[in-house]
């Protein structure tokens, strides 16, 4: 009975459940496992290396064995990935071209697949030149497309701003002429168009429009003066027809000329002033001529 469960007798009882002997402490539940300390590399750990490795600066950072092996494992995992080595300051153009190719730069301009809005109005030679520049500077497809997108956007902004400025200038020019000419605006504009058609025709008008001068107030005033001279010369040159007028018609025309401040009759500096004076004299003569 001395060896029964819970017996406090002999040595066999020491091995029973619940005993507080040394064996229970050695492997009991709840004991914490102790983490082994890292193996520290001795100061002379590189002395057995070849001479070219002993002086390698990159090895100086390793102080423990686990740090050394972690670095090695990381290197092994990285070997299979694509790596691009950046050339140093002594690199040649060929060295850089190799880097550009690795980064996606095509070897020929025809390999660029650039999307350009047809409304952008980019000339073919400009597009070709930009692609050549892209090859030279190592632009990949995405970079080259970004360049053209930027150009397209800026062109649109500049075109819109130019149109707005052009409309503003036209409005200001015509407003200045309306103020200067007053009620004579329509007649003088008609004189300008008449002169342009007479001296230049459709080709002259097209040329003026091509350079954006069709609404330039100085151009309009120049042609208006030409048209004004043409109209006045026509009146003078046809003055011989006064003999076919009725007295009332001749007198009415003479009065109209004298009341028109812009007529050469009332402008002494005008080149046709003398002819206008003669015209009015002829009209008065016709108005008061004796019948028969």
* Interval 20-36: pLDDT, tens: 444 444 444 445 556 67
Residue 268: count of CB within 10 angstroms of its CB: 9
- What is the rounded average pLDDT of the residues 62-71? 80
Look up residue 50 and give its DSSP letter: -
* Whether 283 contacts 251, CB under 8 Å: yes
Per-residue pLDDT reduced to its tens digit, 204-230: 888 888 877 888 899 899 988 888 787
Q: Which two tokens stand for residue 85?
A: 């080595």
As a whole number, the mean pLDDT across the chain is: 78
Closest CA to 214 of 188, 196, 194: 196
pLDDT in tens, 245-287: 677 878 888 999 999 998 989 999 988 888 889 889 988 888 8
CB distance 46 to 59 below 8 Å: yes
Centre a 10 Å sphere on the Cβ of residue 71 and count the other Cβ atoms it contains: 14
User: Measured between alpha carbons, how far is residue 60 from residues 43, 73, 100, 146 in Å?
Assistant: 10, 18, 35, 45
Evaluate the CA torsion angle 151, 154, 159, 165 in order and state its sign. negative
| Cβ atoms of 272 and 262 closer than 8 Å | no
Q: Is the pTM of this model over 0.85?
A: no
pLDDT at position 19 is 44
Cα angle value 183/189/190 (rounded, 5°): 105
Buried b (16+ CB within 10 A) or exposed e, 206-239: eebeeeeeebebebbbebbebbbbeebeebbeeb
For the chain, the structural domain boundaries read 238-292
3-state secondary structure of 64: strand
């Amino acid at each position: 009975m001395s060896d029964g469960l819970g017996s406090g007798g002999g040595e066999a009882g020491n091995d029973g459940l619940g005993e507080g002997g040394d064996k229970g402490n050695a492997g009991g539940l709840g004991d914490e496992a102790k983490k082994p300390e890292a193996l520290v590399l001795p100061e002379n750990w590189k002395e057995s290396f070849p001479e070219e490795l002993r002086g390698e600066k990159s090895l100086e950072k390793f102080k423990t064995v686990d740090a050394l092996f972690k670095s090695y494992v990381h290197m092994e995992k990285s070997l299979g990935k694509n790596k691009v080595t950046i050339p140093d300051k002594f690199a040649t153009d060929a060295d850089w071209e190799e880097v550009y190719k690795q980064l996606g730069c095509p070897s020929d301009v025809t390999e660029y697949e650039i999307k350009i809005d047809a409304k952008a109005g980019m000339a073919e030679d400009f597009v070709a030149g930009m692609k050549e520049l892209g090859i030279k500077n190592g632009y990949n497809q995405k970079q080259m497309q970004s360049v053209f997108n930027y150009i397209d956007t800026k062109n649109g902004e500049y075109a819109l701003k130019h149109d707005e400025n052009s409309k503003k200038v036209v409005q200001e020019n015509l407003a200045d002429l309306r103020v200067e000419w007053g009620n004579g605006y329509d007649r003088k504009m008609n004189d300008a168009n008449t002169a342009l058609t007479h001296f230049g025709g459709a080709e002259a008008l097209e040329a003026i429009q091509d350079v954006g001068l069709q609404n330039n107030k100085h151009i309009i005033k120049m042609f208006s003066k030409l048209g004004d001279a043409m109209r006045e010369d026509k009146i003078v040159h046809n003055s011989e027809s006064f003999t076919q007028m009725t007295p009332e018609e001749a007198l009415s025309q003479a009065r109209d000329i004298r009341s028109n401040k812009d007529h050469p009759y009332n402008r002494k500096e005008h080149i046709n002033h003398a002819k206008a004076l003669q015209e009015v004299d002829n009209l008065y003569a016709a108005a008061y001529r004796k019948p028969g």
